[in-house]
């Protein structure tokens, strides 16, 4: 069976995966870019966004595994865009530009389904109102035997962890205290006990990469 | 001016410094020993408790700095014992045995003062009902120019951090999700910005030592 993976998911010391006050201009709310500075500096990120350089150290090596063997992504609606409630129109196609970085089918979880959108570069956004289990069933079918990535945000990752559907969880702990926002770890007591392998490594950028994995 | 330091303060990934349900038999509640296994394994801990061996690796090197230049400790009442409310008697002198590990004056914060108790080995417990600022004033006076350690638990450390009284904060992040207990980081938004130096290192035991420091 294909595996379900989370990559490059940044949290603050107090466990927030995003800040408070998400908007079009501030996808991570008051956190700004602070949770992802380590990632923006990597070659992986720079190349995802069509730029040429970027660091090639350990952060990059770890970040760069995000796409290996991935055939589909599932994301929460807030990772697609800041809208809440019914879609006002279908013209804005998300934060990710005309050629999104995913290059696979992407299942956007929303209580307000809308028609699928085919973007450049192989990304197709599907909008579904589904449980984690049902979303995963659809994503697995679309992934053609490859792995499925749970792309975030924190509520979506937390729901898939709570349903015990995640086989590889890579969280990056950033040494800041956000104070408010959406927490990753709530309701996940003893999460580590479901995994065979727990690894941590701190890199020179100051972040700690934590991985929970099982076969 | 002498510095105020926190050492070897363990938290879970979700930021809990102790579990739920503290009792005489379970000083850390449902967390059991899980937050401190890394510490128990060190020579520093073994020698504190009169035993001879223990690991001498990086965890030990970091843990071992806890007493250097310390002239007094301040702790919350729950680090002294599990009692709540008025003291039922003054015969039980805390979790720390006849010769406590501190070997300095120790100021126990409580709304129920009682007479000071002189133990073996130089530890004297003073019971005071005081603000963080006033407790620190008394501890500094007793420390004779040496540093003051804030010993925990999480509420006490948090109060001293909230009052911006801490100069050196060493937190050990243990890769477990406790789910419930007492959180360290609540109400401390942007804490890292008060410090000049933020360092992290993961050791082979799997924990991450995080240090916030300022001169």
Q: According to the model, what pLDDT value does residue B139 have?
A: 98
How far apart CA A59 and CA A209 sit, in angstroms, is 8
Residue B172: closest C-alpha in chain A: A13
Q: According to the model, what pLDDT value does residue A49 have?
A: 86
Is residue A192 less than 8 Å (CB to CB) from chain B?
A: yes
Instruction: Find the mean pLDDT for residues A159-164.
Output: 98
Spell out which residues of chain A touch residue B208, defining contact as CB-CB under 8 Å.
173, 200, 202, 208
Q: According to the model, what pLDDT value does residue A77 have?
A: 95
Concatenate the DSSP letters of all residues of A126-149 into one string: EEE---HHHHHHHHHHHHTTSEEE
The pLDDT tens digits of the residues spanning B126-180 come to: 999 999 999 999 999 999 999 999 999 999 999 999 999 999 999 999 999 999 9
The pLDDT tens digits of the residues spanning A78-113 come to: 999 998 999 998 999 999 999 999 999 999 999 999
B4-84+99-213 architecture in CATH?
3-Layer(aba) Sandwich (3.40)
Residue to substitute from B62, B185, B186, interface A, most A β-carbons within 10 A: B185
CB A198 within 8 A of CB A150: no
ipTM of this predicted complex?
Answer: 0.95
Cis peptide before B130 (omega within 30 of 0): no
* CATH node for A4-85+100-213: 3.40.430.10
In the structure encoding, which two tokens stand for residue A120, read together?
């450049």
Spell out which residues of chain A touch residue B34, defining contact as CB-CB under 8 Å.
none
CB B127 within 8 A of CB B111: no
Mean pLDDT of chain B: 96
Is residue A58 less than 8 Å (CB to CB) from chain B?
A: no
Residue B176, CA distances (Å) to A12, B28, B33, B36, B213 in order: 16, 14, 12, 11, 25
CB A161 within 8 A of CB A169: yes
Is residue B186 less than 8 Å (CB to CB) from chain A?
A: yes
Q: Say yes or no for a CB contact (<8 Å) between B206 and A191.
A: no
Q: Residue A108: beta bridge partners?
A: A75, A127
Domain extent listing, chain B: 4-84+99-213
Give the residue carrying structure tokens 């994995």: A213
Q: Residue window 11-40, chain A: list those with CB within 8 Å of chain B.
A: 13-15
CB count, 10 Å around CB of B169?
25
Name the DSSP class of A201.
E
């Amino acid at each position: 069976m294909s595996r379900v993976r989370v990559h490059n998911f940044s949290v603050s010391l107090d466990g927030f995966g995003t800040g408070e006050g998400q908007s079009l201009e501030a996808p991570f709310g008051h956190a700004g870019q602070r949770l992802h500075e380590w990632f923006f500096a990597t070659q992986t990120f720079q190349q995802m966004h069509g730029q040429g350089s970027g660091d090639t150290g350990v952060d990059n090596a770890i970040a760069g595994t995000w796409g290996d063997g991935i055939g589909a992504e599932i994301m929460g609606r807030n990772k697609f865009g800041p809208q809440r409630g019914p879609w006002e129109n279908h013209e804005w196609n998300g934060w990710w530009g005309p050629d999104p970085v995913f290059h696979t089918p992407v299942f956007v979880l929303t209580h307000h389904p809308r028609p699928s959108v085919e973007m450049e570069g192989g990304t197709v956004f599907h909008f579904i109102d589904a449980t984690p289990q049902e979303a995963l069933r659809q994503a697995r079918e679309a992934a053609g035997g490859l792995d499925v990535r749970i792309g975030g945000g924190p509520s979506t990752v937390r729901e898939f962890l709570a349903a015990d559907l995640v086989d590889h969880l890579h969280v990056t702990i950033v040494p800041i205290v956000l104070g408010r926002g959406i927490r990753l770890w709530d309701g996940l007591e003893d999460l580590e006990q479901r995994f065979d392998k727990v690894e941590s490594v701190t890199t020179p950028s100051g972040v700690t990469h934590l991985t929970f994995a099982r076969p």
